[in-house]
Amino acid sequence: MSGLRVSSNLKFATRASLAKAIEWFQNSGIQEASGGVSRYHLLAENRNLPVSTEITGYAVSALAWAGALDEAGRAADFLCDTAWLPDLQAMPFEVGDPPPPSYFFDCGIIVRGLLAAGRPAMAREIGLAMGRDFWSDTGDLHPVLDLPSKRPRPYEPRWSREPGCFQLKSALAWKDLAAHFPGDPFEEWWQRALARAIATHWSYLPGNEGELKVMDRLHSYCYFLEALTKVHSPILKEGIDRVAALLRQLAPRFERSDVCGQLLRVRLLAGSSGVVPLDIAAAEEEAVRCASHQRFGGPAMENGGYGFGTRDGVQLPFMNPVSTAFCMQAMAWWSDWCDGRFRGTIDELI
Protein backbone atom coordinates (compact mmCIF):
# COMPACT_ATOMS: atom_id res chain seq x y z
CA MET A 1 0.00 0.00 0.00
CA SER A 2 1.38 3.39 -0.97
CA GLY A 3 0.31 5.48 2.00
CA LEU A 4 -1.60 8.02 -0.12
CA ARG A 5 -4.09 8.62 2.70
CA VAL A 6 -1.40 10.37 4.73
CA SER A 7 -1.60 14.15 5.06
CA SER A 8 0.72 16.09 2.74
CA ASN A 9 1.71 18.41 5.61
CA LEU A 10 3.01 15.52 7.67
CA LYS A 11 4.89 14.07 4.68
CA PHE A 12 6.65 17.41 4.17
CA ALA A 13 7.49 17.65 7.88
CA THR A 14 9.14 14.22 7.88
CA ARG A 15 11.44 15.17 5.02
CA ALA A 16 12.50 18.39 6.70
CA SER A 17 12.94 16.95 10.18
CA LEU A 18 15.69 14.44 9.37
CA ALA A 19 18.16 17.05 8.15
CA LYS A 20 17.51 19.23 11.19
CA ALA A 21 17.97 16.29 13.56
CA ILE A 22 21.30 15.37 11.98
CA GLU A 23 22.41 19.00 12.29
CA TRP A 24 21.41 18.89 15.95
CA PHE A 25 23.76 15.99 16.60
CA GLN A 26 26.52 17.83 14.75
CA ASN A 27 26.06 21.36 16.10
CA SER A 28 24.26 21.34 19.45
CA GLY A 29 27.16 20.31 21.68
CA ILE A 30 25.47 17.08 22.79
CA GLN A 31 28.59 15.36 21.38
CA GLU A 32 31.47 16.70 23.38
CA ALA A 33 35.08 17.38 22.36
CA SER A 34 36.11 13.89 23.53
CA GLY A 35 33.76 12.33 20.97
CA GLY A 36 31.52 11.03 23.73
CA VAL A 37 27.84 11.92 23.84
CA SER A 38 26.01 13.25 26.87
CA ARG A 39 23.09 11.35 28.36
CA TYR A 40 20.91 14.42 27.82
CA HIS A 41 20.94 18.20 28.14
CA LEU A 42 19.28 20.14 30.98
CA LEU A 43 17.71 23.19 29.35
CA ALA A 44 16.97 25.08 32.57
CA GLU A 45 20.59 24.76 33.70
CA ASN A 46 22.11 24.92 30.21
CA ARG A 47 24.40 21.98 30.81
CA ASN A 48 24.98 18.46 29.62
CA LEU A 49 24.79 15.45 31.88
CA PRO A 50 27.99 13.36 31.92
CA VAL A 51 28.97 11.42 28.83
CA SER A 52 27.41 7.96 28.75
CA THR A 53 28.95 5.03 26.89
CA GLU A 54 25.51 3.61 26.09
CA ILE A 55 24.27 6.90 24.66
CA THR A 56 27.52 7.27 22.73
CA GLY A 57 26.89 3.79 21.30
CA TYR A 58 23.43 4.83 20.18
CA ALA A 59 24.90 7.98 18.67
CA VAL A 60 27.45 5.97 16.67
CA SER A 61 24.61 3.92 15.16
CA ALA A 62 22.50 7.01 14.49
CA LEU A 63 25.30 9.05 12.96
CA ALA A 64 26.54 6.17 10.80
CA TRP A 65 22.98 5.51 9.58
CA ALA A 66 22.55 9.21 8.79
CA GLY A 67 25.85 9.42 6.90
CA ALA A 68 27.56 11.71 9.44
CA LEU A 69 30.68 9.58 9.34
CA ASP A 70 33.15 12.02 10.90
CA GLU A 71 31.01 12.38 14.03
CA ALA A 72 30.31 8.64 14.11
CA GLY A 73 34.04 7.95 13.91
CA ARG A 74 34.86 10.32 16.76
CA ALA A 75 32.23 8.68 18.95
CA ALA A 76 33.53 5.21 18.06
CA ASP A 77 37.09 6.30 18.86
CA PHE A 78 35.94 7.47 22.29
CA LEU A 79 34.41 4.07 23.02
CA CYS A 80 37.42 2.11 21.79
CA ASP A 81 40.27 4.29 23.04
CA THR A 82 38.93 6.03 26.15
CA ALA A 83 35.99 4.11 27.61
CA TRP A 84 37.00 0.45 27.12
CA LEU A 85 39.05 -0.97 30.00
CA PRO A 86 41.41 -3.51 28.40
CA ASP A 87 42.89 -4.74 31.68
CA LEU A 88 39.40 -5.60 32.97
CA GLN A 89 37.95 -6.51 29.59
CA ALA A 90 34.94 -4.40 30.55
CA MET A 91 32.93 -1.40 29.38
CA PRO A 92 31.76 0.90 32.22
CA PHE A 93 28.61 2.98 31.80
CA GLU A 94 30.68 6.15 32.25
CA VAL A 95 34.38 6.95 32.32
CA GLY A 96 35.64 7.33 35.88
CA ASP A 97 38.10 6.27 38.54
CA PRO A 98 37.27 3.97 40.23
CA PRO A 99 35.42 2.53 37.27
CA PRO A 100 31.61 2.77 37.43
CA PRO A 101 29.53 -0.39 36.97
CA SER A 102 29.03 -2.16 33.67
CA TYR A 103 25.51 -2.75 32.25
CA PHE A 104 24.68 -5.65 29.97
CA PHE A 105 22.24 -3.50 28.02
CA ASP A 106 24.77 -0.74 27.41
CA CYS A 107 27.36 -3.19 26.12
CA GLY A 108 25.06 -4.59 23.44
CA ILE A 109 24.11 -1.15 22.20
CA ILE A 110 27.79 -0.24 22.01
CA VAL A 111 28.61 -3.42 20.06
CA ARG A 112 25.92 -2.64 17.48
CA GLY A 113 27.22 0.91 17.17
CA LEU A 114 30.80 -0.23 16.64
CA LEU A 115 29.70 -2.71 13.98
CA ALA A 116 27.84 0.09 12.21
CA ALA A 117 31.01 2.18 12.32
CA GLY A 118 33.20 -0.62 10.94
CA ARG A 119 34.96 -1.58 14.17
CA PRO A 120 34.31 -5.35 14.29
CA ALA A 121 37.41 -6.31 16.30
CA MET A 122 36.50 -4.16 19.30
CA ALA A 123 32.85 -5.13 18.94
CA ARG A 124 33.89 -8.78 19.19
CA GLU A 125 35.91 -8.13 22.37
CA ILE A 126 32.92 -6.50 24.07
CA GLY A 127 30.56 -9.20 22.82
CA LEU A 128 32.76 -11.94 24.26
CA ALA A 129 32.91 -10.09 27.59
CA MET A 130 29.11 -9.94 27.64
CA GLY A 131 28.84 -13.71 27.29
CA ARG A 132 31.66 -14.39 29.69
CA ASP A 133 30.56 -12.11 32.53
CA PHE A 134 26.77 -11.54 32.56
CA TRP A 135 25.07 -14.96 32.47
CA SER A 136 23.56 -16.06 35.79
CA ASP A 137 23.22 -19.60 37.12
CA THR A 138 19.45 -19.41 36.52
CA GLY A 139 19.80 -18.57 32.84
CA ASP A 140 19.03 -14.88 33.26
CA LEU A 141 21.38 -12.08 32.27
CA HIS A 142 22.61 -9.96 35.15
CA PRO A 143 21.78 -6.34 34.32
CA VAL A 144 24.62 -4.70 36.29
CA LEU A 145 28.11 -5.77 37.35
CA ASP A 146 30.31 -3.87 39.78
CA LEU A 147 33.82 -3.13 38.57
CA PRO A 148 36.53 -4.19 38.99
CA SER A 149 35.11 -7.25 40.77
CA LYS A 150 32.48 -8.08 38.11
CA ARG A 151 30.16 -9.19 40.87
CA PRO A 152 26.48 -8.81 39.97
CA ARG A 153 24.64 -6.10 41.83
CA PRO A 154 21.59 -7.21 43.82
CA TYR A 155 18.47 -6.87 41.71
CA GLU A 156 16.10 -3.99 42.37
CA PRO A 157 12.40 -3.59 41.42
CA ARG A 158 13.24 -1.23 38.54
CA TRP A 159 13.25 -2.26 34.92
CA SER A 160 16.92 -1.42 34.38
CA ARG A 161 18.09 -3.12 37.57
CA GLU A 162 16.59 -6.60 37.13
CA PRO A 163 16.58 -9.14 34.29
CA GLY A 164 13.83 -8.76 31.74
CA CYS A 165 12.76 -9.28 28.16
CA PHE A 166 14.08 -5.81 27.27
CA GLN A 167 17.61 -7.23 27.35
CA LEU A 168 16.90 -8.97 24.06
CA LYS A 169 17.72 -5.81 22.11
CA SER A 170 21.18 -5.86 23.64
CA ALA A 171 21.50 -9.58 22.96
CA LEU A 172 20.80 -8.72 19.32
CA ALA A 173 24.47 -7.70 19.28
CA TRP A 174 25.34 -11.40 19.56
CA LYS A 175 23.19 -12.19 16.54
CA ASP A 176 24.95 -9.44 14.61
CA LEU A 177 28.38 -10.66 15.73
CA ALA A 178 27.56 -14.24 14.74
CA ALA A 179 27.46 -13.16 11.10
CA HIS A 180 31.00 -11.77 11.38
CA PHE A 181 32.51 -14.42 13.68
CA PRO A 182 30.76 -17.78 13.13
CA GLY A 183 33.42 -19.62 15.11
CA ASP A 184 32.52 -17.83 18.35
CA PRO A 185 29.51 -18.81 20.55
CA PHE A 186 27.49 -15.71 19.65
CA GLU A 187 24.64 -17.54 17.92
CA GLU A 188 24.22 -19.89 20.89
CA TRP A 189 24.07 -16.97 23.31
CA TRP A 190 21.52 -15.18 21.11
CA GLN A 191 19.28 -18.24 21.00
CA ARG A 192 19.45 -18.63 24.79
CA ALA A 193 18.56 -14.98 25.32
CA LEU A 194 15.72 -15.16 22.78
CA ALA A 195 14.15 -18.21 24.44
CA ARG A 196 14.40 -16.61 27.88
CA ALA A 197 12.88 -13.33 26.76
CA ILE A 198 9.94 -15.01 25.03
CA ALA A 199 9.30 -17.18 28.08
CA THR A 200 9.13 -14.19 30.45
CA HIS A 201 7.78 -11.27 28.41
CA TRP A 202 4.08 -11.59 29.26
CA SER A 203 4.54 -10.53 32.89
CA TYR A 204 6.69 -7.51 32.00
CA LEU A 205 3.79 -5.10 31.52
CA PRO A 206 2.47 -3.15 33.26
CA GLY A 207 4.91 -3.78 36.16
CA ASN A 208 4.38 -2.69 39.75
CA GLU A 209 6.21 0.65 39.96
CA GLY A 210 3.20 2.99 39.79
CA GLU A 211 0.92 3.99 36.96
CA LEU A 212 3.03 6.65 35.29
CA LYS A 213 6.10 4.41 35.53
CA VAL A 214 4.33 2.18 33.03
CA MET A 215 5.42 4.67 30.36
CA ASP A 216 9.04 3.88 31.23
CA ARG A 217 8.25 0.19 30.91
CA LEU A 218 6.72 0.78 27.50
CA HIS A 219 10.09 2.20 26.46
CA SER A 220 11.93 -0.90 27.62
CA TYR A 221 9.27 -3.34 26.36
CA CYS A 222 9.67 -1.79 22.92
CA TYR A 223 13.30 -2.91 23.04
CA PHE A 224 11.98 -6.48 23.22
CA LEU A 225 9.64 -5.88 20.28
CA GLU A 226 12.44 -4.30 18.26
CA ALA A 227 14.58 -7.41 18.70
CA LEU A 228 11.64 -9.69 17.80
CA THR A 229 11.49 -8.12 14.35
CA LYS A 230 14.74 -9.99 13.67
CA VAL A 231 12.91 -13.32 13.89
CA HIS A 232 9.49 -12.20 12.53
CA SER A 233 7.80 -13.41 15.71
CA PRO A 234 3.98 -13.57 15.84
CA ILE A 235 4.26 -12.11 19.35
CA LEU A 236 4.73 -8.77 17.60
CA LYS A 237 0.99 -8.39 16.93
CA GLU A 238 0.07 -8.74 20.59
CA GLY A 239 3.00 -6.59 21.72
CA ILE A 240 2.26 -3.73 19.33
CA ASP A 241 -1.39 -3.69 20.43
CA ARG A 242 -0.47 -3.66 24.13
CA VAL A 243 2.04 -0.84 23.78
CA ALA A 244 -0.26 1.24 21.59
CA ALA A 245 -3.18 0.95 23.99
CA LEU A 246 -1.11 1.88 27.05
CA LEU A 247 0.63 4.75 25.21
CA ARG A 248 -2.69 6.32 24.31
CA GLN A 249 -4.06 5.78 27.81
CA LEU A 250 -1.09 7.40 29.56
CA ALA A 251 -0.07 10.09 27.06
CA PRO A 252 -2.29 12.91 28.37
CA ARG A 253 -0.40 12.71 31.67
CA PHE A 254 3.02 11.49 30.58
CA GLU A 255 4.36 10.76 27.11
CA ARG A 256 7.91 9.76 26.20
CA SER A 257 8.97 10.70 22.70
CA ASP A 258 11.20 7.66 22.39
CA VAL A 259 8.22 5.33 22.89
CA CYS A 260 6.43 7.02 20.00
CA GLY A 261 9.45 6.52 17.76
CA GLN A 262 10.06 2.95 18.88
CA LEU A 263 6.46 1.89 18.33
CA LEU A 264 6.32 3.41 14.86
CA ARG A 265 9.57 1.73 13.83
CA VAL A 266 8.35 -1.65 15.06
CA ARG A 267 5.07 -1.21 13.17
CA LEU A 268 6.89 -0.43 9.96
CA LEU A 269 9.35 -3.32 10.28
CA ALA A 270 6.61 -5.79 11.21
CA GLY A 271 4.46 -4.56 8.34
CA SER A 272 7.31 -4.73 5.85
CA SER A 273 8.06 -8.35 6.78
CA GLY A 274 4.39 -9.32 6.53
CA VAL A 275 4.15 -10.41 10.18
CA VAL A 276 1.64 -7.72 11.20
CA PRO A 277 -0.39 -5.81 8.58
CA LEU A 278 0.34 -2.11 8.94
CA ASP A 279 -2.40 -0.14 10.69
CA ILE A 280 -2.04 3.04 8.64
CA ALA A 281 -4.18 5.24 10.87
CA ALA A 282 -2.30 4.18 14.01
CA ALA A 283 1.07 4.64 12.30
CA GLU A 284 0.14 8.12 11.12
CA GLU A 285 -0.98 9.06 14.63
CA GLU A 286 2.35 7.86 16.03
CA ALA A 287 4.19 9.87 13.39
CA VAL A 288 2.26 12.96 14.47
CA ARG A 289 3.22 12.22 18.08
CA CYS A 290 6.90 11.90 17.08
CA ALA A 291 6.83 15.14 15.13
CA SER A 292 5.33 17.03 18.07
CA HIS A 293 8.46 16.42 20.16
CA GLN A 294 10.97 17.96 17.74
CA ARG A 295 11.98 21.52 18.58
CA PHE A 296 13.02 24.28 16.19
CA GLY A 297 14.50 27.74 16.47
CA GLY A 298 16.46 29.39 19.24
CA PRO A 299 19.93 28.22 20.30
CA ALA A 300 21.59 25.24 18.64
CA MET A 301 20.64 22.93 21.52
CA GLU A 302 16.95 23.50 20.83
CA ASN A 303 17.09 23.55 17.05
CA GLY A 304 16.27 20.21 15.44
CA GLY A 305 16.61 17.84 18.39
CA TYR A 306 13.84 16.03 20.20
CA GLY A 307 12.77 16.61 23.75
CA PHE A 308 12.39 13.74 26.20
CA GLY A 309 8.61 14.06 26.42
CA THR A 310 5.67 15.84 28.06
CA ARG A 311 3.94 15.85 31.42
CA ASP A 312 0.32 17.00 31.38
CA GLY A 313 0.93 18.36 27.89
CA VAL A 314 3.92 20.49 28.92
CA GLN A 315 7.31 19.83 27.33
CA LEU A 316 9.89 18.51 29.79
CA PRO A 317 13.11 20.59 29.94
CA PHE A 318 15.46 17.93 28.55
CA MET A 319 16.93 17.51 25.07
CA ASN A 320 17.55 13.85 24.53
CA PRO A 321 19.94 12.22 22.03
CA VAL A 322 18.25 8.81 22.20
CA SER A 323 14.83 10.34 21.58
CA THR A 324 16.34 12.24 18.67
CA ALA A 325 17.94 9.10 17.21
CA PHE A 326 14.81 6.96 17.49
CA CYS A 327 12.38 9.63 16.31
CA MET A 328 14.47 10.86 13.39
CA GLN A 329 14.77 7.30 12.09
CA ALA A 330 11.07 6.65 12.64
CA MET A 331 10.13 9.83 10.78
CA ALA A 332 12.52 9.09 7.90
CA TRP A 333 11.15 5.56 7.58
CA TRP A 334 7.60 6.87 7.72
CA SER A 335 8.38 9.38 4.97
CA ASP A 336 9.83 6.58 2.86
CA TRP A 337 6.74 4.44 3.43
CA CYS A 338 4.48 7.33 2.47
CA ASP A 339 6.42 7.66 -0.79
CA GLY A 340 6.16 3.93 -1.47
CA ARG A 341 9.89 3.26 -1.01
CA PHE A 342 10.29 1.93 2.53
CA ARG A 343 13.45 -0.19 2.80
CA GLY A 344 14.16 -0.11 6.54
CA THR A 345 15.70 -3.22 8.12
CA ILE A 346 16.36 -4.50 11.62
CA ASP A 347 20.09 -4.43 10.85
CA GLU A 348 20.03 -0.62 10.55
CA LEU A 349 17.68 -0.11 13.50
CA ILE A 350 19.27 2.34 15.93
CATH number of the domain that residue 150 is part of = 1.50.10.10
Is 2 within the bounds of a domain? no
The pLDDT-based confidence of 8 (bands split at 50, 70, 90) is very low
Tell me: cis bond preceding 148? Omega within 30 of 0 counts.
yes
The pLDDT-based confidence of 212 (bands split at 50, 70, 90) is confident
**pTM score, whole prediction:** 0.94
Helix or strand (DSSP H, E) at 176: helix 168-180
- Cβ contact 65:333 at 8 Å: no
Q: How many domains does the chain contain in total?
A: 1
The values of phi and psi at residue 216, to 5°, are -65, -40
Is 3 within the bounds of a domain? no
Is 244 within the bounds of a domain? yes
Is 291 within the bounds of a domain? yes
List pLDDT tens digits, range 69-107.
Answer: 999 999 999 999 999 999 999 999 999 999 999 999 999
Task: Extract long-range pairs of 127-132: CB within 8 Å, 24+ residues apart.
Answer: 127/173, 127/174, 127/177, 127/184, 127/186, 128/89, 128/184, 129/89, 129/90, 129/91, 130/104, 130/170, 130/173, 130/174, 130/189, 131/174, 131/185, 131/186, 131/189, 132/89
- Cβ contact 332:68 at 8 Å: no
Is 91 within the bounds of a domain? yes
- Cβ contact 119:111 at 8 Å: no
The residues that bridge with 311 in the sheet, in sequence order, are 254, 314
**Residue 212: partners with Cβ closer than 8 Å, 6 or more residues away:** 250, 253, 254
Q: Which domain holds residue 190?
A: 8-348
Mean pLDDT across 195-203: 94
Beta strands 254-256 and 309-311 are antiparallel
Is 1 within the bounds of a domain? no
The pLDDT-based confidence of 15 (bands split at 50, 70, 90) is low
Is 343 within the bounds of a domain? yes
Task: Please say if the pLDDT value at position 111 is more than 50.
Answer: yes
Residue 152 three-state SS:
strand
Is 92 within the bounds of a domain? yes
* Type of residue at 263: L
Q: Which of 13-22, 35-44, 127-136 has the lowest mean pLDDT?
A: 13-22
